[in-house]
Chain A
Amino acid sequence: DAGITQSPRHKVTETGTPVTLRCHQTENHRYMYWYRQDPGHGLRLIHYSYGVKDTDKGEVSDGYSVSRSKTEDFLLTLESATSSQTSVYFCAISERADTEAFFGQGTRLTVV
């Protein structure tokens, strides 16, 4: 695997609590992404970053925020977790916008 570490790998949280997922890369790639994977929907982009402090929304960004204060770290925050945010979350990185993406191992989040 490319040098991508997601933490935590598994988390159970209660409805209404804030949750932060972390993606750390050692590849010095400019682009970082957060996707969620749900049965019947494939992977959908939540937010992405094209540089330090440069982020933009994806197709399912409501209820999520992100921050990127360093090249290597991209944080995804669920401001107030809901059961509909139960999912598997994947971080990905790419060197350029037109090159392949490398994915982390995923974080399985359950909101009860």
Chain B
Amino acid sequence: SQQGEEDPQALSIQEGENATMNCSYKTSINNLQWYRQNSGRGLVHLILIRSNEREKHSGRLRVTLDTSKKSSSLLITASRAADTASYFCATDAYGNTGKLIFGQGTTLQVKP
């Protein structure tokens, strides 16, 4: 089953613009994580936000979490061509087991 649903599935923007990706999930969680995957590579962890947190920043990344709406968003500010990748949200929907359920991802293209 797909716990995380990401929106949009694909996003194309110009360098310097902001990119926003959304993730919705179905069950209660302890934390939600965002990962990036460059073409043909493994996933790289970006940010982990816990259920008692509402917002978290890391460099040009800003993640929000709304547990009442079961949704999260990832904002990339001042995007660069190097940000071109697929972005996935993942939730620990099985309780504190470490097992993650991933969404299908948002493919971001940043045009120079």
**Interface of A with B (CB < 8 Å)?**
1, 31, 33, 35, 40-45, 48, 50, 56, 58-59, 90, 92, 94, 96-106
Contact = CB atoms under 8 A, between A and B. Distances in A.
Given A31-B98, A33-B98, A44-B102, A100 B41 contact: no
B42 interface: yes
Given A1-B42, A42-B4, A103-B43, 18 more contacts: A33-B99, A40-B104, A42-B104, A43-B43, A43-B100, A48-B97, A50-B97, A59-B101, A90-B43, A94-B98, A96-B98, A97-B92, A98-B96, A100-B33, A100-B48, A101-B43, A101-B98, A104-B42
A97 B97 contact: yes
B98 A59 contact: no
B68 interface: no
B88 interface: yes
B52 interface: no
B98 A97 contact: yes
Q: Categorize the interface residue count of chain B.
A: 20 to 34
B102 A42 contact: yes
